[in-house]
Chains A and B, each alone.
Chain A
Amino acid sequence: RKEVEQDPGPFNVPEGATVAFNCTYSNSASQSFFWYRQDCRKEPKLLMSVYSSGNEDGRFTAQLNRASQYISLLIRDSKLSDSATYLCVVNEGGGGADGLTFGKGTHLIIQP
């Protein structure tokens, strides 16, 4: 059974702080990884693809650890607008949906 596990939170973090959360996956053959952001009652939106070498986009850094089978998302200098649920998505292969597994999401609340 495919499993993608995330700490549901909520993570309550003061504005300006750095926050990081992990996502673990069970299938070692998983090929690609993504972080999505979902605001309350909205659709998920792609935040970052996660590459084996790690990648950075402004205040956001994503990393992959294949040996330990987890991916991480780091948010620096957090803003109030970062409050959302962050979904981890793991693709086990191919270009189709049957290989994708979504985590339940980590709920982040940035406090003023």
Chain B
Amino acid sequence: EADIYQTPRYLVIGTGKKITLECSQTMGHDKMYWYQQDPGMELHLIHYSYGVNSTEKGDLSSESTVSRIRTEHFPLTLESARPSHTSQYLCASSEPGDTFYGYTFGSGTRLTVV
């Protein structure tokens, strides 16, 4: 019944590989986000988008890139994965407008780079 979907759920990949983490939502939300979270640590915003063709970098510097060609889709790409990229990546969306009502998070992608 999730309205925001992330794939894959788990990914183990070798150093230097290019990977794309998928995130899609069916709620028609304009605002979408990517967060990175290491075990036991706080969430850090790495990218966000307020609508189609709009993308911004977040607080935490990241070597990843994002695109927003369709409202419902906000993929994150790592051109060359490194062990330092090992983390959990959480996608979220929120309702449009100036008032923030909270996020809906996807179930996350747990990435391990070996």
Residues of A at the B interface (CB closer than 8 Å) are 32, 34, 41-46, 49, 87, 91, 94-100, 102-105
Are A97's CB and B45's CB within 8 A?
Answer: yes
Are A95's CB and B42's CB within 8 A?
Answer: no
Per-position contact with A for B101-114: 1 when CB-CB < 8 Å, else 0?
A: 11111111010000
CA distance A42 to B31 in the complex (A): 22
Given contacts A43-B108, A44-B43, A102-B42, 15 further A-B contacts (CB under 8 A): A34-B102, A41-B88, A42-B108, A43-B106, A43-B107, A44-B105, A46-B104, A91-B100, A94-B98, A95-B97, A97-B31, A98-B45, A98-B48, A98-B56, A99-B100
How many A-B residue pairs have C-beta atoms within 8 angstroms? Tell me.
60
Per-position contact with A for B48-63: 1 when CB-CB < 8 Å, else 0?
A: 1010000010110000
Are B99's CB and A105's CB within 8 A?
Answer: no
Interface residues on B, range: 20 to 34
By a CB distance below 8 angstroms, the chain B residues around A99 are 100
For the complex, is B90 an interface residue (Cβ under 8 Å from A)? yes
Contact sample, A vs B, 29 pairs, CB 8 Å cutoff: A32-B99, A42-B107, A43-B105, A43-B107, A43-B108, A44-B43, A44-B105, A46-B103, A46-B104, A87-B42, A94-B100, A95-B94, A95-B98, A95-B99, A95-B100, A96-B48, A96-B100, A97-B31, A97-B58, A98-B48, A98-B58, A98-B59, A100-B45, A100-B100, A102-B43, A103-B42, A104-B41, A104-B42, A105-B42
Are B33's CB and A97's CB within 8 A?
Answer: yes
Are B108's CB and A49's CB within 8 A?
Answer: no
By a CB distance below 8 angstroms, the chain B residues around A98 are 45, 48, 56, 58-59
For the complex, is B96 an interface residue (Cβ under 8 Å from A)? yes
By a CB distance below 8 angstroms, the chain B residues around A100 are 45, 100
Are A32's CB and B110's CB within 8 A?
Answer: no
